[in-house]
Amino acid sequence: AQTVTQSQPEMSVQEAETVTLSCTYDTSENNYYLFWYKQPPSRQMILVIRQEAYKQQNATENRFSVNFQKAAKSFSLKISDSQLGDTAMYFCAFMKFTGNQFYFGTGTSLTVIP
Amino acid sequence: DAMVIQNPRYQVTQFGKPVTLSCSQTLNHNVMYWYQQKSSQAPKLLFHYYDKDFNNEADTPDNFQSRRPNTSFCFLDIRSPGLGDAAMYLCATSREADGYEQYFGPGTRLTVT
């Protein structure tokens, strides 16, 4: 079975600063997808960024980037120039290439402080 | 805009009274999912449909059932809700062309009285 671990239940960051959210996972699969999802308070979950395990290059989306370390099974999310709208619960998720099940971590609640 | 729609957004039911939550999508995605999310927890996958093929998670209680009459609609039936079933229920869709990125609906908040 796949497990996804987010060891930081809560984090805070000053507006305009950079913050890194950690995620580790356990799998015997070689090919898989990794995702970070954002769930703002009382709003729906949206995709922040995704990474295919076969790609060595770390994914980036504007202010969001990942540090994907396949051997270490680590997939951290860096948010640069944090904005108040980044305040949300962030979930790391894993999906095998075969099969469609998502495995979510327990989430990190991020608060951006003005 | 293409989207995932869940109705109702809030549902109150009585203990033991069957309830149905609905999800529809305009994305024409072939995979649809139902998750249960309790407060401050990760979403827990209940089951998913790959086209018409139903895939139940091993630990999903028999009390939860699902129907997918066509590509666009998927229903979650809770046959005899208990107090422990109070949660947010999330519907999501995906397709291979998007790398199975999941698109989530806004959720239905279920209260059991």
Task: Kindly report the nearest CA distance between residue B25 and chain A, in angstroms.
Answer: 15
Cβ–Cβ gap A44/B104 under 8 Å: yes
Report DSSP letters for B24-72, one per residue.
EESS--SEEEEEEE-TTS--EEEEEEETTEEEE-TTS-TTEEEE-SSSS
pLDDT score, position B44: 92
Q: Average pLDDT in the B10-19 region?
A: 96
Cα separation, A93 vs A30, in Å, equals 16
Residue A98: both structure tokens together: 């075969």
Q: Average pLDDT in the A88-102 region?
A: 86
pLDDT score, position A1: 67
pLDDT score, position B34: 96
> How high does pLDDT run on average in chain B?
93
Tell me if residue B97 falls in helix, strand or coil.
Answer: helix
Confidence of residue B1 (pLDDT cuts 50, 70, 90): low
Q: Residue written as tokens 């990760």?
A: B42
Task: Kindly report the nearest CA distance between residue A83 and chain B, in angstroms.
Answer: 22
Return the residue of A nearest to B33 by Cα: A101
Cβ–Cβ gap B102/A44 under 8 Å: no
Cβ–Cβ gap B48/A100 under 8 Å: yes
- List pLDDT tens digits, range A35-69: 999 999 878 899 999 999 999 899 999 999 999 99
- Residues in B lying within 8 Å of A, measured between beta carbons: 31, 33, 40-45, 48, 50, 55, 57, 90, 92, 94, 99-107
Cβ–Cβ gap A44/B105 under 8 Å: yes
User: Would you say residue B2 has pLDDT above 80?
Assistant: no
Q: Which of A89-103, B23-37, B41-55 has the lowest mean pLDDT?
A: A89-103
Cβ–Cβ gap B43/A45 under 8 Å: yes
Cβ–Cβ gap B101/A35 under 8 Å: yes
A-B CB pairs within 8 A amount to 51
Tell me if residue B103 falls in helix, strand or coil.
Answer: strand
User: Would you say residue A113 has pLDDT above 90?
Assistant: yes
User: Would you say residue B109 has pLDDT above 70?
Assistant: yes
- Residues in A lying within 8 Å of B, measured between beta carbons: 33, 35, 37, 43-47, 50, 52, 89, 91, 95, 100-102, 104-107, 109
Instruction: Print the SS3 string covering chain A.
Output: CCEEECCCCEEEEECCCCEEECCEEECCCCCEEEEEEEECCCCCCEEEEEEECCCCCCCEECCEEEEEECCCCEEEEEECCCCHHHCEEEEEEEEECCCCCEEECCCEEEEEEC
Name the nearest CA neighbour of A92 among A2, A9, A1, A5. Answer: A5
pLDDT score, position B98: 80
Using the 8-state DSSP alphabet, how is residue B99 labeled? T
User: Would you say residue A99 has pLDDT above 80?
Assistant: no
